[in-house]
Amino acid sequence: MTIENLSINKSFGGWHKQYSHHSKTLNCTMRFAIYIPPQASNEHKVPVLYWLSGLTCTDENFMQKAGAQRLAAELGIAIVAPDTSPRGEDVANDEGYDLGQGAGFYVNATQAPWKQHYQMYDYVVKELPSLIEATFPVSDKRSISGHSMGGHGALTIAMQNPEQYRSVSAFSPICNPINCSWGQKAFTTYLGKDKSNWLQYDASELMKKATVYVPAKVDQGQDDSFLVEQLKPEILNAAAKVSNYPLVLNLHEGYDHSYYFIASFIDEHIRFHAQHLT
């Protein structure tokens, strides 16, 4: 597979690189970023933390705002950040910020016209890791994390593929999308009106029924304006108690939904993943 390097920046002894490639899964050109720590070489392949961003974001938000490179360099962990949806003039879109381009919700769409391109679940789980592992000095040891819509994606992907991920974490995830307006709008559009098809993409529903566990860490700001209506971490916590899922949920007074919150606790998340990756 041909990939094109778009930018390169040295950071904490390693390299932040941005690439584009044609995705067969999404039928369009996609962009991703990767941070390669200084320890990485063909003789020493490093584990990978995949990061999924939230609504309206691209690969750039996390890499530029979270401040994750310093500790990733110290611990020898690569970070990969894909875009949040397919992009392009021929890719279906919507005027709302919470649907269409920038809002793929990490599902495999089944409804026209979305299903032609919106296969973000398969892209993150299958195509992107295969490309990363074939191209860069990284191993097949993977963890996954994300924010908001990306936190939803990280949790659901890890729980549906426990053999592929050593750990999962999330900041301010959409914990119960079948019962919030963001999730209901996206799922109706991408998956259709049959709500039984939504359950496979709901972290709380998956956690409630889980029998194989991926260690999970979730951090949530208590001053998040989306907390009550959209995020619903209390439902995820209740689901974990049903299945005895190894979930650590931390609530933080005064913090909101922004990258100021993520940057404040990203080191804790990277150390959490390092315990399971290395």
C-beta of residue 187 within 8 angstroms of C-beta of residue 201: yes
Which residue, 194, 191, 151, is CA-closest to 173? 151
C-alpha neighbours within 13 Å on the C-beta side of residue 70: 7
> Phi and psi (nearest 5°) for 155?
-65, -45
Q: Is 20 helix (H, G, I), strand (E, B) or coil?
A: strand
Q: How far is 155 from 201, CA to CA, in rounded Å?
A: 9
Q: How far apart are CA 141 and CA 120, in angstroms?
A: 21
For 39, list phi and psi in degrees, rounded to 5. Answer: -75, -15
**Of 53, 148, 169, 172, which is the active-site residue?**
148
Question: Is residue 41 annotated as part of the catalytic site, yes or no?
Answer: no
The catalytic position among 59, 83, 202, 224 is: 224
Distance CA 263, CA 3 (A): 30
The residue annotated as part of the active site, out of 147, 152, 257, 273, is 257
The answer to whether 257 is a known catalytic residue is yes
273 labelled catalytic: no
Hey, which residues are catalytic here?
Answer: 148, 224, 257
